[in-house]
Amino acid sequence: MPVIHVKDDADFNAQFGAAAAKPVFIDFTASWCGPCKMIAPTFDNLSNIYLNALFLKVDVDECADTAAAYGISAMPTFLVFQNGQKLDQLKGASNEKLEQLVKQYAEGSQTPSLVSGQSDITSLIDKKQIECLNGSDDTPLDLFLEGNTNLISDCDEQLIISLPFNQPVKVHSILIKGVGNRSPKDVKIFANLPKTMDFDTASAVEPIQLLTFNESATEGEGQIQNLKYVKFQNVQNIQLFVAGNIGDGEITEISRLRIFGTPLSSVNMNEFKRVAGKAGDAH
């Protein structure tokens, strides 16, 4: 999950309170702090690697009460919490020490990926901008992506699912699990379209890739289909046109949808070059 820039003390309390059991990494920073600016890209990149953790950036001038409550006297200072308990802290702008700190507490919280070498980037979908055409009002897309309902078509078997990401990503593969004969069969994949397609356009236009699912998509975790990875290297949004289901019926039902890939901004931290200052510098 990308770094959340906390607006004020009330916003911090809300974000921190919503973390549940996730590891929480807090970067106490200041706009005038040189070392803070130096290490900011490292903190950002780590947030794109450990997607099951929460990364908060707190400006000590905008959140003075929060900074005082945690006894922050030097910037940058990084605190680690889980289940409301403080686990560790780090002072200073050492890229290597920060990477070690985050790895130590976040790695165990990572959900093992079903696709080797790829992350489940479904969490990077911007749920405020998602759209589903011909979805039943009783099964909204946001609740479906959160795992709280199945996604069911309404007037006929077709669905258009528009999924914008909150940052550019590389998309490697797609998992779909359907329900019996209602499970999707032919799914057209489009990317980086300026707006959500209508059904006439989706039917007529050649997709980047056509995926064909079978009965395997109704079993176990579902069926994973690899994309033509070279064609999905810088994706802002992805659209799925479900043209029909394996039973050729009038209702399509999906119980699970996952997108696998990597955030475009994720880099090899060992290759990250310091741009100013010295490791460990702090104000």
Catalytic residue numbers? 33, 36
CB proximity list for 100: less than 8 A, separation 6 or greater: none
What does the alpha-carbon distance between residue 112 and residue 47 come to, in Å, rounded to a whole number? 17
- Report in angstroms the alpha-carbon separations of 12 from 36, 49, 81, 89, 268: 19, 22, 13, 18, 30
Element (H, E) at 65: helix 64-69
Which residues are bridge partners to 165 per DSSP?
Answer: 125
> What are the phi and psi torsion angles at 124 (to 5°)?
-90, 0
What does the alpha-carbon distance between residue 28 and residue 283 come to, in Å, rounded to a whole number? 12
Element (H, E) at 88: strand 85-91
